[in-house]
Every structure is written in C-alpha cells, then in structure tokens.
C-alpha cells in the first residue's frame, strides 16, 4: 500500500521479475531443471538495485540503496532504504536469486503462515459506509469499503486492473463503497480531486467522474484542471465551479479520512470487506477469496 509513498515497490503477493533480458532462471526440458550458478553477492545486489531504481523508484522521484544483505537459503535477502529528498522514509526487504536473475518483492514463509490464524478467526474492524457513494444493492450481504486517494498510483492500479472485474463478477451481490483518504502531504491535487468528485455527485455523476479521474490520473496530476472532466460529462459548469471553488465538501472528505484513521488506515488503498482489512493494490483473487467466503456464510 502507499504509506508515505514508500510502498510503491509492493507489487503483489509474489512477483518474480527477470532482470537484464533473461527470460527465466529455470528452463524445463524433459522434466529437468537447468542448474543455476551463483554470482558474487554484491553483483546480485547491484542487479537488484539497478532494476529497482531505474524502473520503480526513480521515475516516481525516489531512490534506493542497500542497507544490509545476507544469505536466505537459496536467495540473498537485501534490506533496501527508500529515500526521498535525502531522507530515508522506509526500509523493506527484497530477495534475489543467487544467480542474480530473479527479483522477489514478497516472500511467503509457509511454516510461519501455517501457524497463523485461519481466515475465519480474523478480527473484523468496525467501519461503516456512512453516506459515501456506492455501487450495488444498498443492503447487500457483502460490503467492500475502499479508502483511497485519487492521485495514488496504487489506487490507480487497483482501479484499472481489479475494480471493474469485481463489480462485473459480483454485480447485484456486493455493495462497493468509495471513501476519501487524500494523502495531502504527498499528493498536492488529491484533496481537490476528492472535492471535484463530490461536486460531480451533486449532479448525479459521481461514478462517471470517479472513473475519469483514474483514467486520466497522469494528466490532472500535472495540471490540476478538474473542470475539463465536468465539461466532458456535460455538467452545469456554473454549479460545478461554485461547488468546487467553495470547497463545499471539505468537511465530508475530512470526515472520511478521520473514519479511515480510526479504522487503522495508514495508506492507500485500504479495503474492508465486511470489516476484514485488505491492504494495498491486491490481485483479484485476494478479493475473490474473502468475498466468496462472506457470501457463503
């Protein structure tokens, strides 16, 4: 999830990225795997950092450096400091295979996982939709509440990769709620985006505007122009501009954020599925597992 923007490199439960044009660390032929050869640890570390900095961090205005490195079975474990404006804002581990070819961002220790509580014992958080905009039946048995920031890259990824699939596959079965959690210290237009969306909602076009904000995130994040999308939706521009410039919904947005903080939200996107927290731009199957479990109760 994006907390102080330091979690930009959290890309999924287990992501292997092939570095330097290598298509994989194993080539299977007649059910046999090609043996991998180890390289010097710091060479593997350099491979990892070159990829992370050039592809993930530097395009977003961050930098990374290795703070420590050790062997982890057949892998090297690297602790990486994520840096912005010369300050370390987060430290997180990544792993790289000893041949320096595959970079892994999240590792599941199965023995530890098996000792954890099963899903049925997970503690639920008391969080409500209040009067926030939603899609689906008002009294659906499964309610998904998303706390998000319109300028957040991971929120954008969830919208583009997962949200529509959830809404399509569970149409009529779930209530999907959007609550504002603008990270104003990092995203200068996040608050204005939330205010503009609520103003669009006054004219019955909240979700259409919501969709345009995510679809065009790269555009308005540079210009701060929100009237453009209201015009595209044929809104009454006098009413929209009056609503927007007066910050009519500023208290509503602040109340959303306070509700999120009270529920334990520290970054975006954060979801609560019938109160069960799910943090970050998780893949579709992470939502599917919890939704199906709740529907089948």
**Per-residue confidence in pLDDT tens, the chain, 297 aa:** 444 444 433 333 233 333 333 322 222 233 333 444 565 677 777 888 888 888 888 777 888 888 888 887 778 888 888 888 888 888 888 888 888 778 887 766 655 554 555 555 567 999 999 999 999 999 999 999 999 999 999 999 999 999 999 999 999 999 999 999 999 999 999 999 999 999 999 999 999 999 999 999 999 999 999 999 999 999 999 999 999 999 999 999 999 999 999 999 999 999 999 999 999 888 999 999 999 999 998
Q: 42 and 143 in one domain?
A: no
Q: Which helix (H) or strand (E) holds 192?
A: helix 190-202
Q: 8 in a domain, yes or no?
A: no
Q: 287 and 245 in one domain?
A: yes
Q: 202 and 145 in one domain?
A: yes
Query: What pLDDT shows up at residue 179?
Result: 98
Q: 30 in a domain, yes or no?
A: yes
Q: Which residues contact 219 (CB under 8 A, 6 or more apart)?
A: 225
Q: Which residues pair with 162 in a beta bridge?
A: none
Which of the 8 DSSP states describes residue 267?
A: S
pTM over cut 0.85: no
Q: 163 and 247 in one domain?
A: yes
- Contact yes or no for 75/95 (Cβ under 8 A): yes
Q: 133 and 249 in one domain?
A: yes
Q: 242 and 131 in one domain?
A: yes
Q: 91 and 155 in one domain?
A: no
Where does a domain end: 86, 114, 142? 114
Where does a domain end: 92, 114, 136? 114
Angle at 285 between CA 284 and CA 288, to 5 degrees: 95
List, edge to edge, every strand of the sheet that includes 142-148. Answer: 134-135, 174-180, 142-148, 270-273, 276-279
For the chain, where are the E strands, in sequence order?
Answer: 16-18, 28-29, 32-33, 63-72, 75-84, 87-97, 102-104, 134-135, 142-148, 174-180, 270-273, 276-279
Query: What pLDDT shows up at residue 17?
Result: 34
Where does a domain end: 98, 114, 130? 114
Query: Which residue range is the domain that position 89 belongs to?
Result: 16-114
Nearest Cα to Cα of residue 100 among 13, 34, 192, 36: 36
How many independent structural domains does the chain possess? Answer: 2
Query: What pLDDT shows up at residue 279?
Result: 92
Q: Which residues pair with 135 in a beta bridge?
A: 176
Which of the 8 DSSP states describes residue 89?
A: E
CA 59 to chain centre: 17
Calpha distance 262→94 (Å, rounded): 31
Query: What pLDDT shows up at residue 14?
Result: 30
């Amino acid at each position: 999830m994006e907390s102080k923007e330091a979690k930009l490199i959290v890309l999924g439960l287990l992501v292997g990225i092939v570095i330097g044009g290598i298509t994989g660390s194993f080539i299977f032929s007649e059910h046999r795997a090609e043996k991998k050869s180890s390289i010097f640890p710091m060479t593997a570390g350099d491979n990892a950092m070159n990829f992370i900095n050039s592809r993930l961090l530097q395009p977003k205005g961050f930098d990374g450096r290795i703070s420590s490195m050790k062997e982890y079975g057949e892998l090297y474990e690297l602790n990486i400091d994520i840096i912005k404006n010369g300050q370390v804002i987060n430290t997180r581990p990544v792993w790289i295979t000893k041949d320096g070819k595959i970079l892994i961002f999240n590792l599941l220790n199965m023995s530890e996982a098996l000792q954890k509580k099963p899903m049925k014992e997970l503690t639920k958080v008391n969080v409500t939709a209040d009067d926030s905009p939603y899609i689906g039946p008002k009294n659906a048995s499964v309610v998904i509440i998303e706390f998000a920031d319109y300028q957040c890259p991971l929120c954008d990824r969830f919208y583009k990769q997962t949200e529509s699939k959830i809404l399509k596959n569970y149409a009529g079965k779930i209530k999907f709620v959007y609550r504002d959690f603008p990270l104003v210290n990092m995203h200068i237009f996040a608050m204005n985006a939330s205010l503009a969306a609520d103003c669009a909602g006054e004219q019955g076009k909240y979700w259409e505007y919501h969709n345009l904000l995510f679809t065009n995130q790269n555009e308005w994040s540079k210009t701060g122009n929100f009237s453009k999308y209201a015009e595209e939706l044929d809104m009454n521009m006098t009413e929209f501009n009056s609503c927007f410039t007066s910050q009519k919904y500023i208290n509503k947005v602040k109340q959303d954020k306070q509700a999120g903080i009270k529920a334990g939200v520290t970054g975006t996107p954060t979801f609560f599925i019938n109160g069960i927290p799910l943090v970050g731009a998780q893949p579709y199957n992470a939502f599917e597992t919890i939704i199906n479990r709740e529907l089948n109760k």
